[in-house]
Structures are given as C-alpha cells and as structure tokens.
Structure 1
Amino acid sequence: MQGLIRLVYFAGILASTYASASVIWDGRVPFNVTNADLDTSTGPFLTVVKGSENATHYNHLLGHSKIPTPLWNEGLLQLVPREQVISVSIDNSSVFIPGGGLPQFGFRRTDLIAAVNGEHTELITRMEQNTTVFHFSIQKNDLHPLNYSHEYQIVFIEPNDGSHVFGIQLGSPFTDPTGPLPDPNAHSFKVLDHALNVLFSTPFTSNTWHNFAVEVDWNARTLAVWYSEDAELLRLVKAATPNPTTALGPDGQGDFHIALLKLPIVNPADSPADQGDVVHHGIQEGTTEGLFYSGVFVESAEPQGVSKGFGIRGTA
C-alpha cells in the first residue's frame, strides 16, 4: 500500500509540473499525439519546413520505445514517462522550397516549429516578451550520426531577417574558403548569441541527454544559458550577457525551431559567387542523419525564475 501511495504522490508531482502556469508553450509530446498528426501539423509543432516527403518520413514519435530526459520525469520515468521522444532526421531528399523561393539545394534540413495545431504567429508574441526561457534536451542518434565536417544549426529563434536571436550549433562552422575539417571543436555544442559569439560550449557525448535552457530577456536584450546532463538539475553556465545586435519589438521576434539544418561544404567547382551562396550551392553527401529531442517547452521566468528540473524553480 505504501508503494501505491508513493506512486500516486509522484504522479501528482509530475502532473503539477506539467500543468504549471508558467509554461507558455509545451512541446513535450503527449502519448495521444500520433505520427499521423505530424503530417497535418496537429499538436505542438508546425512541420512544413522539410524535404519533398511527408513529415513522417523525417520525424518520428517514438512512443514507449525510448526514454525521454529524466529532468521532467523523475520518479515515474520507467513506469509512465510523461512525453514521447521525437526523432528528427535528414536525407538527400531534405531540400526545402520556401514559398515563392528557390529550392535550398545547399542545405539539408528538417525543422519543427513551435505551434499550436499549426498556429504560430500569435504564439510568437506570447513566447517573446518580458523574460522567457526556452527548454530543450538533445541526444545523439548513433545509428544515424552527423558528419562533423559540416555545420549544423539545431535550435534557434529566427526573425524575418534570417538571423538567430540565439542558436545551438554543432560541427565545423561554414567557411569560404574551407578551412581544415573537421574543426577542433566540431564535436561540441556551441550556444551562440545573435552576433555568433560563443556563450557556452560542451562536448556532445553519446548515451546522454544534454539539457539546455536559454533565458531571453526581450526588453534588456540579454541571454543566459543553463545546462545539465540526464537527471542533474539545470545549473547556470552563462550569466545574463548583452545580446545588443538583436532588434527590439516584433522585428527581433521569430519562430522557435527545433531542427536539423546541415550546411554544405564549399564546392571548388562552383563559381566564386556560388561558393559563397551557402543556401543554394555546395557539397552535401545525402546520407541519413538524425538527432533525438525531448523536454522541449517555453516558460515565463517571472516571478519564480527558471525551472531547473522536477518542479524546482529559482535563480542561480
């Protein structure tokens, strides 16, 4: 009987954590969302930024077959995890054609955009005011590894000008002309500000959930970074730092992307002009590559600070 009481107690803690009033948007995919919903952007993600195949060719909800980050699932993780891990992948068909634009042959990309049943415009205004925190956990897909000679942009907020309020980068940063490959820090996460300065870096190790929270003060234009591994509570690894090159107001706001965007390597056979056109030209191998995501949500940091894990909130 005591074991049952303890189980119910932990279930109550988890339910209250997930129902927190501070959560503005929740991308921790519940089990009533199916893979078929991904094709219609039903649920927490807009799935239109992809290649020519259906969204479920590139994204998969893994049900109970893979355990999510324990950071939001402590106590009942093995019995009743509260979310599904989502697999995001690219292959040689992952060429996105933006509306009214040219095919992005330089990229291979699959993006999941924060939304509520396809609506994302109004969500931006709610997520991106005052001080908000963008949570996400990432794990390697060792069956479909990345090619670290390339640059990967995997999490970012993208205003209309194509810049990133902040970004998470893996691999070797794109250069023209191409430098030595892979870059010495290619196997590490880099958290970048709007001007592409590295705020925090840490190795991307296998069989580990890497938990991030990026705290954005939209009025003061600062960024702070929180990080942990697996079940460790998030800790502040970069205190609030100016991010002054971002625009204030709507011009500095944009969609929140959970993605796998692979940049090319310069093709020596291209013209000098085309060699610098990273979006439309360059070398891509066309292999299948992937990442796993869980623990994705956005919360207000006011007035109780950042969620550090297991319902604990506060400041450093």
Structure 2
Amino acid sequence: MAAKLSLSLLAAVSIAAAQTCPLQFEGRIPADATPEFFDESTSLFNTEYNLGADLKWSQVIVFPEVEPSLFDTETRPFEITINDDSIFAPSPDNVQTGFRRAELLPMSNDGSDPSTEGIKTLHFSLQKDMARPLNLSHEYQLVFVETADYSTNQFALKTGTLLDGSFTGEPDTLILQSNVASPRELFSVAFAEGVWHNFALVLNFEENTTQVYYSANADPLESVGEAEPNDLSGRGQYHFGILKKPTGEFGDMTREGYQPSGIDEGVIYGGIFMEDSVGECVSLAP
C-alpha cells in the first residue's frame, strides 16, 4: 500500500538528529561553484552523461536564487534545464530523439560500486522553477536508479501524466514508484511550488526493501511508512535530472513519439548525497 504524507510513522532504525552517518558519495555543490564546475575533472558528477549531444554541463546548469535545501548548509542548490537540444546520443546509431533529457550521475557510481550494496540511504531535495515549468501532459523521471544491464529502474521519482496509467491522480504530483518492471506507488505528495521537497530513501539491497522519509523545506525528515518490499537487484547507476518522455503513438519511446518545440524547462536540486546506513544510521537533519 502506498505511503501518504499523513502516515508519519516512527522508523524501525536508529536515527541521527544530525548528519553523522558515513558517506558513500557526495553530490552537494560548493557554495562558490560556477556552471563550469560541472565540466571539470574535479566535478562530483560524470562530465559526459547524460545530456544532449555536443552540449556541456555548463550549458545545462544554472544557479537559481532560492533558499538552501535542508542539507545544503554550506553548499548551494543548482538547476538542471532541458531544451530542444537535449537529445542524448550514447552512440551514433542510438540517438534518443523520443526523449529530452539531462541527468547527472555521481562520478564514483560506475554501476558496480558499493552504492548498490548493503544498506544505503539516498538523500536529495528538489523544487519547482515556475519560470521554467514542466509540461505535465508528459511523463518525467526526476530521480531514479537504472540497472547495470539497462533493463529496469529499481525505483523512480516521477511527475506528470504517466504513460502506463499506473497513477491517475493530479499530474502535478511527485510519485515515487517501486521497480518499474512492476511498479507500485511507495509515496506521493503534491509538487507544490516554492517548497523544497526533501527525500531520504533507505535502500536495503540485502533484503530488497525501500523505506521512504520525507519533509518540506527546513523540517527534519520523518518516516512516511515501513520498509516496503522492492526488487533492488541488478546494481546500476543513480540519475538526478530530467528525463522527459514522449506523448502520442510510438513503438520505441526512446526514438519515437511527440516532443514539442520551444522547450525551456527546469527542476532545482539540492542536498544530494548517499550515506552508508551501517548500524541502521539515517540522518534526519544537518
């Protein structure tokens, strides 16, 4: 059964009032960073994937004037944007014209690293940019992990009009789904404007479960339900950004379907990091 915001339960894990759990990877951006930081070899994210062919991340990233997210105490939020040129081409014979996409992948996350072993907690926050609104007639994936063989996503945070009809509520909703091979709703909340939506996902790769923590703005994270069964097998890589799927008729959605012209859309991200929940440690606040 999907967890709703009103179902705030105490988690059966040890909690940390402040962030003291060991880090698996860091994705919070230095306070003095410029967009060019994402192009450099010292970037916290992969400098080549996944963005439009011939684009640099400095052409995709902007720094909006917003308050810091929950865990951005000495770091700064950033915005990922997409436009008509956001056509990813992983190879010359695989040009993904059905999608418009720009997603950051942590530099240390190569698909077989420890981020998909043991018990890990993934933290991230996101916020709307009303100056670059999403087109909610489309389905978007905003945070997800993709298996090493590219066959499925073990979880996906979505918004908009879902193509498979698995969510029939208001499209302006953040919907966290389980493994998309057989998706179930783990949590949903209205994608309200002017609000930081803070998430922590406890990913138990040993027991194949996912537990969701959520809060808004500067409030500490709270559990919204118990750990739910969820197939997390397959290793893989974490994606943070915009994957906009097509509408209309298509067979291969990566190359077919309809995308409008004149796209200028964005989502603001902050507080991205993963901690090792050894000893069942989960940070609820900075």
TM-score bucket (shorter structure): 0.7 to 0.9
Confirm or deny that 1:230 pairs with 2:212. Answer: no
Q: What is the letter of the counterpart of residue 23 of structure 1?
A: L
CA distance in 2 between partners of 1:289 and 1:157 (Å): 22
Q: Confirm or deny that 1:298 pairs with 2:285.
A: no
Question: 1:55-74 to 2 correspondence within 5 Å?
Answer: 55-62=57-64, 65-69=65-69, 71-72=70-71
Q: Is 1:144–2:145 an aligned residue pair?
A: no
The alignment partner of 1:121 has SS state of coil
Q: C-alpha deviations, 1:200-249, integer Å up to 9, x for none?
A: 111000000000111100011111111010111111113111113x43xx
TM-score by length of 2: 0.85
Check conservation: 1:44, 1:114, Cα contact below 8 A: yes
Match of 1:282 among 249, 257, 274: 257
Q: Structure 1 residues 136 and 307 mapped into 2: Cα distance closer, same or farther (>3 Å)?
A: same
Looking at structure 2, the residues matched to 25 and 150 of structure 1 have their Cα atoms a distance apart, in angstroms, of 31
Secondary structure of the corresponding residue to residue 126 of structure 2: strand
The letter of the residue matching 1:309 is: A
Runs of 4+ residues over 4 Å off in structure 1: none
Counterpart amino acid of residue 44 in structure 1: L
Task: Measure how far apart 1:54 and its partner are.
Answer: 1.8
Query: 1:282: how far off?
Result: 0.8
Q: Tell me, what secondary structure is at the counterpart of 1:127?
A: helix
Matches of 2:52 and 2:223 in 1, distance apart? 37
Q: For structure 1, which runs of at least 5 residues remain unmatched after alignment? A: 1-16, 74-80, 268-274, 311-316
How many residues align structurally?
263
In 2, Cα distance between equivalents of 1:184 and 1:212: 21
Decide which structure has the larger Cα Rg and report it. Answer: 1
Tell whether the 8 Å contact from 2:109 to 2:238 is kept in structure 1 after alignment: no
Q: Find the aligned partners of 1:183 and 1:193 in 2 and give their Cα distance.
A: 16
Q: TM-score, normalised by structure 1?
A: 0.78
Verify the 8 A CA contact 2:21 2:283 in the aligned structure 1.
Answer: no
2:157 aligns to what?
168
5+ residue gaps, structure 2: 1-17
**Contact residue 198 and residue 215 of structure 2 kept, 8 A:** yes
| Deviation of 1:280 (Å) | 0.4
- Does the 8 Å CA contact 2:201/2:211 hold for their aligned counterparts? yes
Q: Distance in 1 between matches of 2:222 and 2:124?
A: 14
Counterpart secondary structure, 2:105:
strand
CA distance in 2, matches of 1:284, 1:41: 33
For residues 259 and 86 of structure 1, do their structure 2 counterparts lie closer, same or farther at Cα, with a shift above 3 Å needed?
Answer: same
CA-to-aligned-CA distance 1:247-267 (integer Å, 9 cap, x gap): 3xxxx1111110100000014
Alignment deviations for residues 248-291 of structure 1 (CA, whole Å, 9 cap, x no partner): xxxx1111110100000014xxxxxxx12111011111311000
For 1:149 and 1:42, the matched residues in 2 are separated by 37
Tell me which residue corresponds to 2:15. none
Segment drifting more, 24-33 vs 87-96? 24-33
Identity %: 30
Larger helix proportion of the pair: 1
| Aligned-residue RMSD, C-alpha | 2.1
Equivalent residue, structure 2, for 1:158? 146
